[in-house]
């Protein structure tokens, strides 16, 4: 049996630089930073006081008022981005077709702000102050659950939780669902909203966060010699994946084909990547093999590029191991230089960026690249977007625990 081909027919995202695909894409192409002082809580006593917060989002623009209170913010974001993607795809599903449409949307952490809020209520006023919606607010699989209920999608419905690789794993698994004929259409991606005292305090205790508090817009600086940690961000990135002939039959616009998915584990450390880059290398090679694409055919890599001293260095090592001399011809950039690190949503947003890069022929920059690091000596598209034809784009996401996931998108070919 021929392998079922899978294409991208709808996109939705909200990030620290914009609400919606057009606003976010415009800001990314312009090299705008969405990083600023934390407003979600009083961070005066914290080592890190900056974050990439989503600005101007009103859940009532997407969700009925009586439903909003049943969800924590990460679900609001997932539902909003899914509504954008479904509308963009022009997807209309009859009850007869509902079993063939599924949802795989994950989050790295989920409803931590709800846990903080209701723990405070419990201590202050006792258990009767806990809302009956508390558990459905915080568990990760209520993001795809709420999406399926909104649209009546009755196909595969689940979440993947793999820290910062969540978005890529979710899209990859949705792609596999369609390939193995479990569904014809999948809503897939990642979401996250944990700019809270516990999350920021926890990451800061690990010394993982940038403390460039006086220059927030310059704090996230992947591959730059002055990088000192990641900047926590939030948002959601969702795409509609569809079996190629199904998409053609309904006259859907097709952004790109998803052609490869690779995974691996470092089996090395709780939070640090393997310094040899072996796990990341295996993830990328597996993805390329799945897509039947040679390393020399890749035009662009959206790097994991978190702005951590070791992470960026070891990802560069892995890229050189996979691409050899072609590594120096690749265009490589990190969206996180502008959005911060969206944790479980990062892969979803960056996959959308890869698809737009192919569709629009523009490579978004890595901003704040000011001082070259001899360990990071590739072309990271410093500070300004470039126009060029991109036929093939690879997206990397690597998570705590050494979990790695890579996706390969390409221009649709007959």
Catalytic residue among 29, 48, 76, 164: 164
- Rg (C-alpha) for the chain, rounded Å, is 20
DSSP 115-162: HHHHHHHHHHH-GGGS-TTHHHHH-TTHHHHHHHHHHT--S-EE----
Decide if 270 contacts 401 (C-beta within 8 A). Answer: yes
Clarify whether 246 is annotated catalytic.
no
Nearest in space to 172 (alpha carbons), one of 348, 316, 35, 37: 348
Catalytic residue among 29, 287, 341, 376: 341
Q: Is the Cα dihedral 89, 263, 72, 43 positive or negative?
A: negative
Catalytic residue among 76, 169, 304, 314: 304
Question: Strand (E) positions, 22-109?
Answer: 36-37, 50-51, 101-106
Tokens coding 39: 């407003």
Q: What is the C-alpha to C-alpha distance for residues 131 and 108, in angstroms, rounded to an integer?
A: 24
Clarify whether 164 is annotated catalytic.
yes
Q: Give CA separation, 109 vs 38, 294, 330, 337, in Å.
A: 19, 35, 33, 22
Query: Active-site positions?
Result: 164, 304, 341
């Amino acid at each position: 049996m021929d392998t079922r081909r899978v294409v991208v027919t709808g996109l939705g995202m909200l990030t620290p630089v914009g609400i919606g695909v057009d606003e976010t894409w415009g800001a990314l192409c312009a090299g705008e930073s969405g990083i600023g002082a934390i407003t979600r809580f009083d961070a005066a006593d914290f080592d890190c006081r900056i974050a990439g917060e989503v600005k101007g989002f009103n859940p009532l623009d997407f969700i009925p008022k009586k439903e909003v209170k049943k969800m924590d913010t990460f679900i609001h974001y997932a539902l909003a981005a899914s509504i954008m993607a479904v509308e963009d795809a022009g997807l209309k599903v009859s009850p007869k077709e509902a079993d063939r449409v599924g949802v795989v949307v994950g989050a790295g952490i989920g409803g931590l702000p709800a846990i903080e809020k209701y723990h405070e209520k419990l201590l202050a006023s006792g258990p009767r102050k806990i809302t009956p919606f508390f558990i459905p607010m915080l568990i990760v699989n209520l993001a795809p659950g709420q999406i399926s209920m909104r649209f009546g999608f009755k196909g595969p419905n689940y979440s993947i939780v793999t820290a910062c690789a969540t978005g890529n794993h979710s899209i990859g698994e949705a792609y596999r669902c369609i390939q193995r004929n479990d569904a014809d259409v999948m809503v897939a991606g990642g979401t996250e909203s944990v700019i809270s005292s516990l999350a920021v305090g926890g990451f800061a205790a690990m010394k993982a966060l940038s403390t460039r508090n006086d220059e927030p817009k310059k704090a996230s600086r992947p591959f730059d010699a002055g990088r000192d940690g990641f900047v926590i961000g939030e948002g959601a990135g969702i795409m509609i994946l569809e079996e190629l002939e199904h998409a053609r039959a309904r006259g859907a616009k097709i952004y790109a084909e998803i052609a490869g998915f690779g995974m691996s584990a470092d089996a090395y450390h709780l939070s640090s990547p393997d310094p040899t880059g072996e796990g990341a290398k295996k993830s990328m090679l597996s993805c390329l093999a799945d897509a039947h694409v040679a390393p020399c055919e890749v035009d662009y890599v959206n790097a994991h590029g978190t702005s951590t001293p070791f992470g960026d260095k070891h990802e560069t090592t892995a890229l050189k191991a996979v691409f050899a001399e072609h590594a120096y011809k690749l265009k490589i950039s990190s969206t996180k230089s502008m959005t911060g690190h969206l944790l479980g949503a990062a892969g979803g947003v960056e996959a959308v960026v890869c698809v737009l890069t192919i569709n629009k022929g523009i490579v978004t920059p890595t901003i704040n690249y000011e001082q070259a690091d001899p360990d990071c000596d590739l072309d990271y598209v410093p500070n300004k977007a470039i126009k060029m034809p991109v036929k093939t784009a690879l997206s990397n996401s690597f998570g705590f625990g050494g979990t790695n996931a890579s996706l390969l998108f390409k221009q649709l070919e007959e």
